[in-house]
A = this chain, B = another copy of it.
Amino acid sequence: MKIEDIGEFGLIEYLKRKFSLSGKWIGIGDDCCFIPPDIVLTSDMMVEGVHFDLKYLTPEDVGCRATTACLSDLAAVGARPVGFMLSLGIKPDLDYSFFKAIFNGVAGALQEAGVRLLGGDLSRSSKLILSGFAIGRTRRPVLRSGASPGDYIYLTGYTGLAEAGRIVLKRGVSLKRYRESVKRHRRPYPQVKLGQKLKRVASSMIDVSDGLLLDLSHLAEESQVGISIHHLPIHPELIRLEQEFGIRAETLALSGGEDFELIFTSKKRLRKFWRIGEVISEEGIWFQGRRIRPRGYEHFRR
């Protein structure tokens, strides 16, 4: 049996069983882990050729994205970010300016969130590796497991944009007409302040990193509920991409990853956010009345 036969989520299940925690500690399987009374930790690794392509991204972009992925995990549990560390693998014959540009990207993303770089590690590596680690604080992390039937499902912003940006960059299309998409792929923004505010109303929360449907399915599984999506906001640039290249806008919005918006559930009727559906007791993910199989990004799967 190969690793790719098990798949990323199968491997995570194995590790959850092997390294189970007791008491109020929270470990493998949520956006962050939690050490009572108030420490939250998360990590995220990006590898050249797997998570990004240096043909379409600058070193600043790459630094920004690695930082954002970690800060977004803190946002997804409603934590206040405190510090960030970056372990970097890099080719020795790259320009020093490339190295500095990565950390300019890191510094920019950290500054917006008011977070400091605390440390990390440097290593030679033939492929660029950015392995980030963030620490935050909250006494009551919002988990994936808190949703109950009847809760509304909310989304803080458009999804599919980052993936649209990647496609646009890869195809060499004129970037002017896809500004938002390209920006979202290059310099995504973590919803750190929003996550802390939503803590007051959210019964469960997760960030859009693997794709809306796949992330919703993680939330559904941890909460042991089903999800019914009625409505999905589609950004005009996705519609343009569909018209120009026949890439379905709905598919992008449902399955595109790394938008770093937040999905949360709440009993309350809120006006500020898109209400995209509701939590149901019947298991499965339903989109406009049809049961669908979540697709999105999963490592190792063939």
| CB within 8 Å for A117 and B19 given contacts A1-B95, A122-B12 | yes
Q: Are A122 and B18 in contact (CB under 8 A)?
A: no
The answer on a CB contact under 8 Å between A27 and B123 is no
Q: Is A291 an interface residue (CB 8 A)?
A: no
Residues of B with C-beta under 8 A to A98:
3
**CB of A273 within 8 A of chain B?**
no
List B contacts of A117 (CB < 8 A).
Answer: 15, 19, 27-28
List which A1-49 residues lie within 8 A (CB) of chain B: 1-6, 8, 11-12, 14-15, 18-19, 21, 25, 27-28, 32-33, 35, 39, 41-47, 49
Closest residue of B by beta carbon distance from A69: B121
User: Is residue A82 contacting chain B, with contact meaning CB distance below 8 A?
Assistant: yes
Question: Is the CB of A131 closer than 8 A to any CB of chain B?
Answer: yes
Contacts of A12 in B (CB 8 A): 122
- CA of A47 to CA of B123, assembled, Å: 8
A143 on the B face (CB < 8 A): no
Q: Are A118 and B41 in contact (CB under 8 A)?
A: yes
Q: Which of B28, B39, B300 sits near A39, CB closer than 8 Å?
A: B39
Interchain CB contact under 8 A, A21 and B96: no
List residues of chain B with CB within 8 A of the CB of A50.
123-125
Provide the residues of chain B in CB contact with A42, threshold 8 Å. Answer: 119
Instruction: Give complex CA distance A103, B6 in Å.
Output: 16
Give chain A interface residues in 95-143, CB to chain B under 8 Å: 95-100, 103, 107, 116-127, 129, 131, 133, 135
Q: How many residues of A sit at the interface, in one of the four size bands? A: 35 or more
Interface assignment of A85: CB less than 8 Å from any CB of chain B: yes
- Residues on B with C-beta less than 8 A from A3 are 90-96, 98-99
5 pairs of A and B residues whose beta carbons are closest in the complex: A131-B131, A4-B92, A45-B87, A33-B118, A19-B117
Q: A14-B100, A35-B135, A47-B89 are known; give 15 further A-B pairs, CB within 8 A.
A: A1-B95, A2-B95, A3-B92, A3-B98, A3-B99, A6-B99, A19-B117, A27-B118, A35-B83, A39-B135, A43-B85, A47-B125, A50-B124, A50-B125, A89-B129
15 of the cross-chain contacts (CB-CB < 8 Å) are A1-B95, A3-B92, A15-B117, A19-B116, A19-B117, A21-B116, A25-B118, A27-B117, A35-B83, A45-B129, A47-B124, A47-B129, A49-B126, A50-B125, A131-B131
